[in-house]
Structure 1
């Protein structure tokens, strides 16, 4: 067996232990060594693990938060099906209370698709009322100067999401970079590493190349580096996750690493939990 296979087996063993841990009832964890927890927890906290709200498109907020609590994942990118754009101040406050009760922080909103400058105004107003400083969005190319202007006015960052070869506007990180490199520094990208790979790009090289403008990350793996590639559990795809994690640590990435799991969206918990365990296993080992 070569060293790469040995390494992948090592990380998979960590992931299986982690997945089991996040799905085990607290009473069964009472005998876990305190020394083990103390030795691994700081390393696991070096990167902020979150969930992209779209992973929970088939679930109400309470159900989604219950899954996050079971996995001990504490950051959520907020989607409008959980908090509608027209929500009142009271509804927004109640939403944040639910998150706080589950030990979860809503750190951004989106992805939000916009077609006009009026749509962009609504997105920025929504982010301001929700109380976040990051919008994940998909604007029209013609509206990018307006997005840049709004970022300057509001001090809210805007992260453009790439969606792979099917996306004729923003298929990969390089296309986004070429559109934003001369715009306000508050305009960046939500780097979907899986879609980037599906478009024939190198996620690690692009992470290092565009690090200063990567504000958010959709953490995922895919079954192949082709348009036909599908989202899969983090440790089972073609992206070298340990190398990618090392890259995140190298650039001192401070944003969230939000899992977006699209393999089985009507029953995502097992796949998400496995991915959470794998990610934490990698962090504990590198």
Structure 2
């Protein structure tokens, strides 16, 4: 019987075999042209591991060969001491993982925003993914200037009254300091019946982070699925990443089978790398 785990194993084996095929230095078509390395990194959004401790999460990242992590506060609490932060980074270093950002962090007050920026400073990252109130955006701008830390507002789809899609964020931040921008959740954007690749192009100057995912439908009933199995054209999205010369992280946020996500994460990682290699 063909199971999803079997499919993943066959896909990984196929990709490995393809990478092992030797290519002649010269052929009738001429010399082999080396592919230019991509400017973006594949990462993991910490929320994918909401049911797992840090050790378990890092083990899954090791198995899928992903080396960048957006840090969630259930792995490193907002009130962590310097000693706890140091121990956290030591674990990441041992696993060959870099924490490049923190969040998403929900803020309801200016005091919450103060805490988020101080947390990011202590953790040693230059990017916060957050969800502030509209009324606090000017205060976010003030803190961005004070700390020189970028703030990326996360869109959450049609249920989100604050930031359903990329356009709703851009409209509010376009006249603020250029360090206030978007964490572009392409899946939730699609669930709000928006075009992820087109919006990536339109708002590229303010997109600091990407939550990489696919979904089953362009409406509120759409669910996260394995990256190659949804309605978003991932190949087109990758082409647009290259066109805009996106230089941030594409953080896989896998929200299906969250108590047993490894197979889906592995399939999605393999699919994304396969699309990138084929492009």
TM-score (norm 1): 0.87
Q: How has the CA–CA distance of structure 1 residues 19 and 45 changed in structure 2, closer, same or farther, with 3 Å as cutoff? A: farther
Matches within 5 A, 1:218-257: 218-257=211-250
CA deviations 1:52-75 (Å, max 9, x no partner) are 000000000000000000110000
2:53 matched residue in structure 1: 60
Give the Cα–Cα distance (whole angstroms) in 2 for the partners of residues 46 and 156 of structure 1: 21
Give the Cα–Cα distance (whole angstroms) in 2 for the partners of residues 18 and 90 of structure 1: 42
More helix by share: 1
Residues 114 and 120 of structure 1 are in contact (CA less than 8 Å); yes or no, is this contact kept in structure 2? yes
The alignment's C-alpha RMSD in Å is 2.2
Give the Cα–Cα distance (whole angstroms) in 2 for the partners of residues 48 and 21 of structure 1: 23
CA deviations 1:199-256 (Å, max 9, x no partner) are 0101011000000000000000000111100000000000000000000011000000
SS of equivalent to 2:231: coil
Residues 43 and 284 of structure 1 are in contact (CA less than 8 Å); yes or no, is this contact kept in structure 2? no
Q: How has the CA–CA distance of structure 1 residues 66 and 42 changed in structure 2, closer, same or farther, with 3 Å as cutoff? A: farther
TM-score (norm 2): 0.89
Give the Cα–Cα distance (whole angstroms) in 1 for the partners of residues 14 and 64 of structure 2: 8
2:3 matched residue in structure 1: none
Residue 77, structure 1, aligned to residue 70, structure 2: yes
Deviation at 1:18, TM superposition (A): 5.6
Residues 38 and 242 of structure 2 are in contact (CA less than 8 Å); yes or no, is this contact kept in structure 1? no
Give the Cα–Cα distance (whole angstroms) in 2 for the partners of residues 84 and 270 of structure 1: 28
**2:272 equivalent among 268, 279, 282:** 279
**2:174 equivalent among 175, 181, 184:** 181
SS of equivalent to 2:209: strand
Structure 1, unmatched stretches of 5+, are 1-14, 23-28
Give the Cα–Cα distance (whole angstroms) in 1 for the partners of residues 220 and 60 of structure 2: 30
Residue 50, structure 1, aligned to residue 9, structure 2: no
Structure 2, unmatched stretches of 5+, are 1-7, 24-31
Give the Cα–Cα distance (whole angstroms) in 2 for the partners of residues 90 and 69 of structure 1: 25
CA deviations 1:69-110 (Å, max 9, x no partner) are 011000000000000111111110110110011110000000
Q: How has the CA–CA distance of structure 1 residues 34 and 78 changed in structure 2, closer, same or farther, with 3 Å as cutoff? A: farther
SS of equivalent to 2:235: helix
Deviation at 1:17, TM superposition (A): 5.8
Q: How has the CA–CA distance of structure 1 residues 131 and 16 changed in structure 2, closer, same or farther, with 3 Å as cutoff? A: same
Q: How has the CA–CA distance of structure 1 residues 21 and 137 changed in structure 2, closer, same or farther, with 3 Å as cutoff? A: farther
CA deviations 1:248-275 (Å, max 9, x no partner) are 0110000000000001100110000000
Alignment length (residue pairs): 263
Residue 126, structure 1, aligned to residue 105, structure 2: no
Structure with more relative contact order (C-alpha pairs < 8 Å, separation 6 or more): 1
1:108 matched residue in structure 2: 101
